[in-house]
Chain A
Amino acid sequence: MPSKKMILSKSPRKRVIVIAIDGVPFSFFPALKEMNLSPVLSSLYKRNKIHSMTTTLPPVSSVAWASFLTGVNPGVHGITGFVDRRQDGYLPFVPTAEDLQVSTIYQHLSRIGLRVCSIGVPATFPPAPINGILVSGFLAPNLERSVYPKEEIETLKSFDYKLDIDAWSARRSDDSLIAQLPNAISARINTANHYLNKENWDLFVFHILETDRLHHFMWCQMMDKESTALDLFSVLYGQIDKFLQTIMEKLSEETVLIILSDHGFTELKKDFYLNRWLIERGYLSLSEQNATNLSGITPGSKLFSMAPGRIYLHLEGKTPNGTILNDQNAELLKREISESLENVHDPETGSKVIRQVVDMREEWKLTGFDDSPLQLPDLIAIPSPGYELKGELSGSDLFGIDRFSGMHAYGDAFVYLNGEEKDEKLDITDIQGKICSFLGVQQMNGESNQT
């Protein structure tokens, strides 16, 4: 439990705590209140202190938290998905903090001598030295490689800190999920309380991952009163509520509290396999019939996709075998594919699968779009709620059903900004600037204006 001495600091200096709760939608707050999952969050919502916030396209945790850290959109910071690809090949790779093209608020504050403590935030592996303590997010391969400085490993072990749950085991049985999640969040909160108390921080960022995992596995079961899911929701949100209550009771006037999420959640009905659709329509062809990756893409292919819904022109100069010229024809192709995709319907229900296709060059307002070392998607397809856009190649079905009942929603994140009333449209890229303002330090350089 955080001691009074750290949060109720007598020092007049401003400090900021950020509680980052992964995958909690703004639109979830009425249900949160009805189900009495978190009296603290419900009370803030009732008093109009919780605001809706837009987030990155695509709404993927590593992408969105990278935007939180840098204050710029994914086209500028460079991470556009859990996997990306470089221009010299077709195989995907997992981007890390080393692929970020701009500096983070942690580096900015470290350089001016402020202390930072960050626990579990995605897009922070490998943990670069900062003026403080950094525990990477769930994309770190193991605990030993997740921490700066390394001396903190033993502390994390002593709290039984987990980077993530065992998702394979959770896929196999609900019992495994039910056994893992409460322990994981408990260890995470105990670790946060330890560092809140022990460290002399100026910025403290604490990321809670378990909400995202719970929502993926049990979003729809939540409303079923017979389901064990409700108990799990109560346990997890109950722990978060208790933690928030402790923090809020002990906040001093000098300490600013920010609570936010990175994306929304909604019911997952079906997966839609975009690459298979491209193959079926003749936009993509592969030299092997049962290919599991794009390494066998034929030069004549015009388009390919990576989850979730990222579409790339098979451009000459931007891909090893690409033949599409980046000229007027490319613009025509983009228009053609957008119109076609927006007319895809679920044959079972007649529902529209893709709500909108967005031209990312315009969305990200990039002038140097073609200069990026990573290949940025030319288009992003935004699905209608309920349809997840996947990148699988092998197989012939266009639709499939996965183990999960929840999927990330586009937009629909929330933010609480120290009780401030909302007087502006907020995006996740704005939060880094708010932190600098609260701390009374200079803003990061002009990169933050490119959203």
Chain B
Amino acid sequence: MASTGFYKQGTTLWMTGLSGAGKTTIANLLAEKLIRRGEKVEIMDGDVVRTNLSKGLGFSKEDRETNLMRIGFVCRLLSRNGTIVIAAAISPYDYIRKNLRKDDENFVEVYVNAPIEKCIERDVKGLYKKALAGEIKQFTGIDDPYEAPEDAEIEVHTDKETVEESVEFILRRMEELGRIEPDRSDEGYSSEEEAFIQKRLEALGYI
């Protein structure tokens, strides 16, 4: 395809999933692969954002919503200017994700799906241990609900896939959804194939 301007808009790639599901890991590898393809990429990691954009906010439902709306606002600005923004935030509430989608025409939801048992087993940050011990309150998946998305454009299963597989699947879905240019190795005709097609057209009296 030439000069369609089709891929000029960016994308808000909103990754939702439990803590420890693999959002940040996937986001980092995905960003690297997208940059290699020549895309402009930013990562909005929920944990990192809390140290600057949302500094001072806690984990109450209201503060969580504020945090997510701020991230969504920045994503919208960047994506409409041609950047692929990967937001990696637990974002447990369905209505907030729906609101974010409503405001952002470039919103694509990625459900980073892993069973809670697997996340507890991984517990990279030691947070589940604390939550289970009652040291952290309102922890998603333990004493606060996680509402899994039903209509995410992309879903990966990090308990069954390697990080590489999940990232490749996301890239493929982004191609299918017209969010990035296809990275195809088998384009167009080889000279032999084109000669074959011309012969076929001759047989039909077309040329």
Taken together as a complex, chains A and B put the C-alpha atoms of A139 and B188 apart, in Å, by: 11
Interface presence of A282 (CB below 8 A): no
Taken together as a complex, chains A and B put the C-alpha atoms of A402 and B206 apart, in Å, by: 11
Residues of A within 8 A of B (CB-CB), count: 44
Interface presence of A369 (CB below 8 A): no
Contact yes or no, B201 A99, CB < 8 A: no
Interface presence of B207 (CB below 8 A): yes
Residues of B within 8 A of A (CB-CB), count: 31
CB distance from A119 to the nearest CB of B (A): 17
Contact yes or no, B189 A128, CB < 8 A: no
Contact yes or no, A130 B176, CB < 8 A: yes
Interface presence of B179 (CB below 8 A): yes
Contact yes or no, B201 A103, CB < 8 A: no
Which chain B residues numbered 155 to 207 have a C-beta less than 8 Å away from chain A? 172, 175-179, 182, 184, 186-189, 193-194, 196-201, 203-207
CB distance from B91 to the nearest CB of A (A): 19
Contact yes or no, B206 A103, CB < 8 A: no
Contact yes or no, B176 A96, CB < 8 A: no
Q: Between A and B, how many residue pairs show CB distances below 8 Å?
A: 91
Interface presence of A409 (CB below 8 A): no
Contact yes or no, B176 A167, CB < 8 A: no
Interface presence of A7 (CB below 8 A): no
Interface presence of A436 (CB below 8 A): no
Interface presence of A100 (CB below 8 A): yes
Interface presence of A314 (CB below 8 A): no
Taken together as a complex, chains A and B put the C-alpha atoms of A131 and B108 apart, in Å, by: 13
* Stretch from B2-10, B17-25, B68-76 forming part of the interface with A: B2-10
Choose one: A111, A171, A373; the contact of B2 (CB below 8 Å): A373
Which chain A residues numbered 145 to 179 have a C-beta less than 8 Å away from chain B? 145, 164, 167-168, 170-171
Contact yes or no, A403 B177, CB < 8 A: no
Contact yes or no, A83 B182, CB < 8 A: no
Residue of A141, A171, A404 contacting most chain B CB atoms (<10 Å)? A141
Taken together as a complex, chains A and B put the C-alpha atoms of A171 and B179 apart, in Å, by: 45
Specify which chain B residues have a CB less than 8 angstroms from the CB of A113 in the assembled complex: 153, 177
Specify which chain B residues have a CB less than 8 angstroms from the CB of A82 in the assembled complex: 201, 206-207
Contact yes or no, B186 A139, CB < 8 A: no
Contact yes or no, A404 B178, CB < 8 A: no
Q: Which residue of A lies closest to B106 (CB)?
A: A111
Contact yes or no, A126 B177, CB < 8 A: no
Contact yes or no, A103 B188, CB < 8 A: no
Taken together as a complex, chains A and B put the C-alpha atoms of A60 and B207 apart, in Å, by: 11
Per-position contact with B for A130-147: 1 when CB-CB < 8 Å, else 0?
111000001101000100
Please report A residues at the B interface, Cβ cutoff 8 Å: 60, 78, 82-83, 92-94, 96-103, 107-108, 110-111, 113, 126, 128-132, 138-139, 141, 145, 164, 167-168, 170-171, 213, 216, 307, 373, 388, 391, 402-404
What are some 22 contacts across the A-B interface (CB < 8 A)?
A82-B206, A83-B207, A92-B198, A92-B207, A94-B194, A96-B188, A97-B1, A100-B2, A100-B4, A101-B3, A103-B1, A107-B6, A126-B186, A129-B172, A130-B178, A131-B176, A131-B177, A131-B178, A139-B197, A168-B199, A170-B203, A216-B205
Q: Which 4 A-B pairs have the closest CB atoms?
A: A167-B203, A111-B178, A141-B193, A129-B175
| Given A93-B194, A96-B189, A216-B204, 11 extra CB contacts under 8 A | A92-B198, A94-B197, A101-B4, A107-B178, A130-B176, A130-B178, A131-B178, A138-B200, A167-B203, A307-B206, A391-B207
